[in-house]
Amino acid sequence: MEKSELFPVDQEDIDAFWRDGAVVLRGVLNEHWRRELADGITLNLVQPTSRRVDWVRDETTGDHLFHDQLTVAHNPHYERCMLASPLGPLAARFMASPTALAFYATVFVRSPGTRSRTPWHQDQTYWCADGRQALSIWTALDPVPAGTELEFVRGSHLWEKPLAQTNFDEQNLGGEREIEDIDFMPMPDFSGADRDRFEFLGWPMEPGDVLVFHGMTVHGGSGDLPAGLQRRSISTQWLGPDARVTDRPGGCNPDWLPELAQNGIGLGDYPACAMCPTITAEGTILP
């Protein structure tokens, strides 16, 4: 792996990303990369990490929602895709940065027909890193029909206060998370009574399409699947040079601080290290 592939980016999409907090790009991952990710998921399901949770597991209906979070070293297929597919250079271009740091990957696998919506949240308020140059690139290996899309609250990455946090534990998915010392914005009822107060973005997608969204963009709501349709989705997390490692009053999720410390990275550092490799906007993978 010497170079990442490149995918052409329109300035209009970059402008929309900074204005709205999320954009869809069509046809970014070709069949080769989709197969690589599918192989990664097959391996991940039989070799989960210690961070794996099953948000849904119903032996009667067969419904299963598997979730894991991994840095590149955990899975050679995800590693190849994060380093050599167009994702890294795209992340750098969207962050208006010469480089993108491959922070980690998040995996969601819903068995066919599983009905479990992702709670509304902002990723970055859980991360052990902060910065304006911070985004995720989400993709699904299965079609995403209308009504099951991941939704984004338009412009929410620019809100002054962070959104109240949701519980992502296996036992209490979506429950309120009590954290002192943070001036949170109370959680609106985005799916119900407060829906008219906000503007939402969401796109039906085909395999190979990707969503690029800012680390502070509020999102959720996806995943009430029709019978027979599965969803294997991967969200890759990227940081730019203004990002710094941080701790959070309520703890981080995922908490990479111990692993970063083993790589010589502490609070306040930019986390460039063997665990989080860097790719340039031109596709060079830095040693």
Residue of 150, 164, 173, 210 interacting with ligand AKG (CB under 6 A) = 150
Stretch of 34-42, 76-84, 216-224, 254-262 lying at the interface with ligand AKG (CB under 6 A): 216-224
Residue 106 near ligand AKG by CB under 6 A: yes
Residue nearest to ligand AKG (CB): 235
Give whichever of 3 and 52 is closer to ligand AKG, judged by the CB atom: 52
Kindly calculate the radius of gyration of the chain based on its CA atoms and give it in whole angstroms.
18
At closest approach, how far in Å is the CB of 3 from ligand AKG? 26
Q: Is 200 helix (H, G, I), strand (E, B) or coil?
A: strand
Binding characters for ligand AKG, 14-33, by CB under 6 A (x = yes): --------------------
Choose the binding region for ligand AKG from 51-59, 125-133, 160-168, 218-226 (rule: CB under 6 A): 218-226
CA dist 224 and 145 (Å) reads 10
> Which of 105/260 has CB closer to ligand AKG?
105
Binding mask of the shown chain, residues 222 to 251, with x at each position contacting ligand AKG by CB under 6 A = xx---------x-x----------------
Distance of CA 169 to the CA centre of its chain: 17
Residues ≥6 apart with Cβ < 8 Å to 168: 53, 119, 121, 126, 253
Task: With CA atoms as reference, report the closest residue to 138 among 201, 226, 60.
Answer: 201
- Using CB under 6 A, pick the residue from 44, 71, 75, 118 that binds ligand AKG: 118
CA distances from 54 to 13, 46, 91, 111, 154 (A): 35, 13, 29, 11, 29
Cis status of the peptide bond prior to 254, with omega within 30 of 0:
yes
- Name residues contacting ligand AKG, limited to 74-103 (CB under 6 A): none
CA 140 to chain CA centroid, nearest Å? 12
Residue with smaller CB distance to ligand AKG, 152 or 283: 152
Alpha-helical runs (H) found in 64-180:
76-84, 87-94
* CA pair distance 173, 165, nearest whole angstrom: 11
Following CA atoms 43, 45, 50, 55 in sequence, which dihedral angle do they give, to the nearest 10 degrees? 150
136 binds ligand AKG, rule: CB under 6 A: yes
Shorter beta-carbon distance to ligand AKG: residue 165 or 283 = 165
Task: Quote the tokens at residue 162.
Answer: 């962070």
Smallest distance from ligand AKG to CB 266, Å = 26
Least distance from C-beta 107 to ligand AKG, angstroms? Answer: 9
Taking the complex as a whole, the smallest distance from the CB of residue 94 to ligand AKG amounts, in Å, to 15
- Residue 21 burial (10 A CB sphere; 0-12, 13-18, 19+): buried
Among residues 7, 78, 108, 270, the one that binds ligand AKG under rule CB under 6 A = 108
**Residue 142: which of 113, 102, 170, 120 has the closest Cα?**
113
CB nearer ligand AKG, residue 118 or residue 165: 118
CB of 2 vs ligand AKG, minimal distance in Å: 29
Residues found near ligand AKG in the complex (CB under 6 A) = 106, 108, 118, 123, 136, 138, 150, 219, 222-223, 233, 235
